Amino acid sequence: MRQGQPGKRKRRSESPAEPAAAGANLRVLTGWRPVVSLGVCLAASGLLLSASYAPLEWDWLGWCALVPALVAAAPCGGLRRLLAGYLLGFVYCVTNLFWLNEIGFAAGVLLAIYCACFPAAWYALTAALAGALRASPAGEPPSALCRVPTGWRQSALILGSSLFWVGLEWLRSWLFTGFPWNDLGISQWQRPALLSLTCFTGVAGISALLMVSNLALAQVALTWWHGVRHGSPRRSGRVPAVTLGLALVLAMVAAMMAPTVPAPEASLRVLAVQGNIPQCRVWTEEQFDEAVAVYTGLTAQAVPVARPDLVVWPESAVPAPLGYGPFRRRVDALMAEIQTPLLLGALDSRALPDARWTGAEWEPPLQDFNAAILLAPDGSTVETYDKIHRVPFGEYVPFGRYLPWLVDWIGMGRDLTPGSEYTLFDLGPGLLAGANICFEDVFPEISRNFVRRGATLLLTLTNDAWYAESAGSRQHLVHAVFRAAENRRPLFRSGNNSDTCLILPDGRIEGLLYDPETGRRFIRGTRVYDIPISLTPPETLFTRLGNWFARACAAGAILLGLWLFRRHWRACARRREAILKPHLS
């Protein structure tokens, strides 16, 4: 054994060009130490990425969180790369969605298992693109994702990987009804200049900019480390730095061209009522009585002092349909007292337009809608908007008719009917409002459709009390900021347990309802808002074209993916030919 040791030392000192050295490197890279090192880097990137969102909101991490994953040695083989990327995605998603576990059955973990597939695909595709641009021999050991030759190949990797990330975010926004929660660009909600960029590109433009930053910084770091480690002249990191600089300049130019909102020509005085009442899957009469007493009492007390134009109650303010007799009678009594329009979120049971009364029941039966209902001062219903995008497993169970056990396990005891019309509420001359109900303000297209139909004001009636005092409400609030900035419309948000506020057209939050003594947002109370409204607001590029930037990135990602597949197919064909050639000859 001792005689063999000098031979081993000699082989390690051989030239790197020799096959023996390559084999030694491969053995080292497939050992446990590189695997642990890679796992640590991937988990670190996942944690850093999650820390850029609430509750920590260290938004600067969004610019560099993925650098550890990008500089670590990538494993060989597509399956191993998918698994490595899945580790990154799962750590990121399970910590970012941990608040969802408040509703039970490990909902946050289950959703993280699904959402982690998208970072996994991004990591594998980026590794494949880096390998294609590196044009490395088949026997070369794996290296960092961003370690490619200098020149245009570096820019190609930066842009290509950014296309993959934005394209996958777009895919997640509609696949299986969609979950566009916490896209990478969402982390920058406190940056006014970047919010102006959303007038043109939506959140996808900010996501692309952050990915360019992560990839460029990783390449610069690898270039510097290469020079330090090998003592060779450092390869220029100028190309990734210039690429990042150009991206920042383009973003700044676009932000400067954002349309300005004319001075407000009207004002709407709104009284917001936040009851802060815990939610329940199946309500009881005691809980119903408490909710009715809280909301009617706060409203009756505040209206004579505030003299509002409109009173707003959040989604599910009272856990009963508005048509429920005791509820309707209490509301009618309140309306007779305050003589002020009331907009409230409530369940609404009614017959479909083509339903018929058989003498004993409706055929088909009454349908339940999650609705925003505008009541006139006399208590009559002026207009109703039915929630269009229902929450899976919250407002209906997919395939519940065929999977009754799933309904019993996860279902919330209801199967709501989706709406189909983007109804606008007429709140005065030129004051048309579109109301998102809870989860709907996460989807840019819904607010955009309201604006295209003439909305000068956006609303969100939401119920985040399901998640107690976790980060869920704060993360939800941030998405509403982008809906206001994308369309250059004010957005008033009514929460049932927290984060009631006004969001101005440039994305600034004003009048957040909180306890001035303790700073707590989870309180019971009221607040008056004077909402400035422009009667001739601008129409942004995003309002006209929608999420065109994300779709363009997705199209580019598909073309790039097809090129990688074609290249891989040809490489496999050449290898098969090389194996079979000696036997055929």
Give the model confidence (pLDDT) of 407-458 as tens digits: 767 666 668 999 999 999 999 998 999 999 999 999 999 999 999 999 999 9
Compute the mean pLDDT over every residue in the chain, rounded to the nearest whole number. 88
The residues pairing with 435 across neighbouring beta strands, listed in sequence order, are: 459
Residue-wise burial string across 250-270, b where 16 or more C-beta atoms lie within 10 A, e elsewhere: ebeebbeebbebeebebebeb
DSSP letter, residue 469 = T
The predicted pLDDT at position 572 comes to: 86
pLDDT band for position 312 (50/70/90)?
very high
Q: Indicate if the pLDDT at residue 140 is higher than 80.
A: no
More confident residue, 333 or 131: 333
Give the whole-angstrom CA distance, residue 160 versus residue 154.
Answer: 10
Q: Provide mean pLDDT across the span 570-577.
A: 85
* pLDDT at residue number 385: 98
Question: Could you tell me the pLDDT band of residue 400, with boundaries at 50, 70 and 90?
Answer: confident
8 A C-beta contact, residue 316 and residue 350: no
Q: What are phi and psi of 491, to 5 degrees?
A: -130, 125
3-state secondary structure of 224: helix
| Alpha-helical regions (H) of 307-378 | 325-338
In the predicted structure, residue 278 carries a pLDDT above the cut 50? yes
Determine the average pLDDT of the residues in 54-74. Answer: 95
Closest among 190, 219, 195, 217 to 206, alpha carbons compared: 195
Query: Class for domain 267-539, per CATH?
Result: alpha beta
State the pLDDT at residue 152. 83
pLDDT in the model for residue 148 = 60
* One-letter amino acid for residue 294 of the chain: V
Tell me the sheet residues that pair with 405. Answer: none
pTM of the model: 0.91
Distance CA 578, CA 225 (A): 37
Q: What is the pLDDT of residue 19?
A: 34
Kindly indicate the confidence band of residue 14, based on its pLDDT and cuts at 50, 70 and 90.
very low
pLDDT of residue 143: 60
pLDDT-based confidence at residue 228 (cuts at 50, 70, 90): low
Q: What are phi and psi of 347, to 5 degrees?
A: -70, 145
What is the reported pLDDT for 230? Answer: 63
For range 342-363, the mean pLDDT? 84
- Per-residue model confidence as pLDDT tens digits over 245-256: 999 999 999 989
Give the pair of three-digit tokens for residue 293. 């007493």
Mean pLDDT score, 184-211: 97
**What integer pLDDT is reported at residue 147 of this predicted model?**
65
For the beta sheet containing 381-386, the strands, ordered from the edge strand earlier in sequence to the opposite edge, are 381-386, 367-375, 342-350, 310-312, 266-274, 525-533
Is a pLDDT exceeding 80 seen at residue 583?
no
Residue 22 confidence (pLDDT): 29
pLDDT at 67 over 80: yes
CA distance 30 to 35: 7
Residue 232 pLDDT class (50, 70, 90 cuts)? low
Domain boundaries, the chain: 31-258+551-580, 267-539
